[in-house]
Amino acid sequence: MNSKPSSTSTSRRGALIAGITAMATLADARAADAPPSGIATPTSERIPVVLPRTEFVYEAIVDIAAPMTLGASPFGERFMVPITGGSFEGPGLRGTVLAGGADRQLLRRDGAKNLDAVYELKTDDGVVISVRNTVLSRNPKNAPRYVFSTLQIVAPEGKYGWLNDFVYVGTLDALRPQREAVVIRVYKVV
């Protein structure tokens, strides 16, 4: 029997080795480009841990009316806060917050609040963008206030279609007593 490998098996082996080498080189390049996270996981030697980065998208000042009490639930006290207007602005974005949206709130038994706001933004050039902002707000004892959100933003195709292509996070702060409004800062995860 001939123990000499055929040229077909040699070329397959060469292609396999070349592919593995290319994948390792790509992984090394990704690791070199990634900022060091200092986090070790079971897979971090093979797939580097890359911490999410964000970029500012816009700030909205959202005018609100007095909260309406909706009653108790098994999970806590429910409220609805009508959205009456406002404005927003960011790089390449500017316009008004349309009246008619609302923020449904649950004051949980543990003192934290879950907020679920649905509203629309109208750009200066007349495009309507829909926003759903889900917020967790807590005031832990002996720790800073924690208020962060995730947002779903839906825009029509065209000039603002890029808004459909990212994950968004945000912050929320009250402007009271100077104004019955909240300020929402929105960031895209890149």
13-63 per-position pLDDT tens digit? 555 455 555 444 544 544 455 455 788 999 988 999 989 999 999 999 999
The span from the CA of 81 to the CA of 55, in Å, is 29
Q: What pLDDT is attached to residue 7?
A: 53
Percent share of the chain, pLDDT over 90: 75
Contact 127, 109 (CB under 8 A): no
Q: What pLDDT score does 102 carry? A: 98
Q: Which of 3-12, 74-83, 94-103, 105-114 has the lowest mean pLDDT?
A: 3-12
Domains of the chain (ranges; CATH) run: 1-51 (no CATH), 54-189 (2.40.160.20)
pLDDT at res. 38: 81
Mean pLDDT of the chain: 88
Provide mean pLDDT across the span 133-161.
Answer: 96
Q: What is the pLDDT of residues 63-87, one digit of tens each?
A: 999 999 999 999 999 999 999 999 9
* pTM for the predicted model, two decimal places: 0.78
**What SS3 class is residue 25?**
helix
Average pLDDT over residues 150-164: 98
What's the Rg (C-alpha) of the chain? 25
Percentage of the residues of the chain whose pLDDT score is greater than 70: 81
What is residue 34's DSSP assignment? S
Which residue, 161, 162, 127, is CA-closest to 55? 162
pLDDT for 74 equals 94
Instruction: Provide the pLDDT for residue 17.
Output: 54
Q: Is 123 left (phi over 0), alpha (psi -120 to 50) or beta?
A: beta
Report pLDDT for 26.
45
Residue 79 to residues 13, 82, 115, 157, Cα–Cα distance (Å): 67, 10, 9, 34
Give the whole-angstrom CA distance, residue 146 versus residue 172: 10
Whether the Cβ atoms of residue 82 and residue 67 lie closer than 8 Å to each other: no
